Amino acid sequence: VQLQASGGGSVQPGGSLRLSCAASGFAAAIGWFRQAPGKEREGVGCISRSSDLPYYADSVKDRFTISRDNAKNTVYLQMNSLKVEDTAVYYCAGMRYIYGSLTRNWFRDSEYAYWGQGTLVTVSS
């Protein structure tokens, strides 16, 4: 399965961007991760193919929204009220299967078999 992330760009603080992740095949769940310069990659959020309940990191909760369109095999990350600290390369990743509890594991990058190429989001005034 190949994943194609798109939609990154430059925006001022308080602005919005929407990222897309198009999958070429089936993924049981799609997660969003980000890596800021000099920092480790961290989970942003995740949504399973069969549930309408996304998971979010505390740092983005109430600002970011994950949604999916199964017909298009695409997952979206709507980012609002962007902050300078949201600047990072954003990756989408896909799980081949969901093992155990998604609640406990969605943010572990080892759970994901497929990775997209990343798209840069820069938040700056």
What's the confidence (pLDDT) of residue 46?
97
Q: Please tell me whether residue 117 adopts helix, strand or coil conformation.
A: coil
With a CB cutoff of 8 Å and minimum separation 6, the contacts of 16 are: 78, 79, 80, 81, 82
What's the confidence (pLDDT) of residue 62?
95
Amino acid in position 40: E
Q: Please state, in angstroms and rounded to a whole number, the distance separating the CA atoms of residues 52 and 61.
A: 16
Q: Please tell me whether residue 110 adopts helix, strand or coil conformation.
A: helix
Over residues 53-103, the pLDDT tens digits come to: 899 999 999 999 999 998 999 999 999 999 999 999 999 999 999 988 888
Q: Is the pLDDT of residue 116 over 90?
A: yes
What's the confidence (pLDDT) of residue 50?
87
Q: Please state, in angstroms and rounded to a whole number, the distance separating the CA atoms of residues 15 and 38.
A: 24
What's the confidence (pLDDT) of residue 5?
97
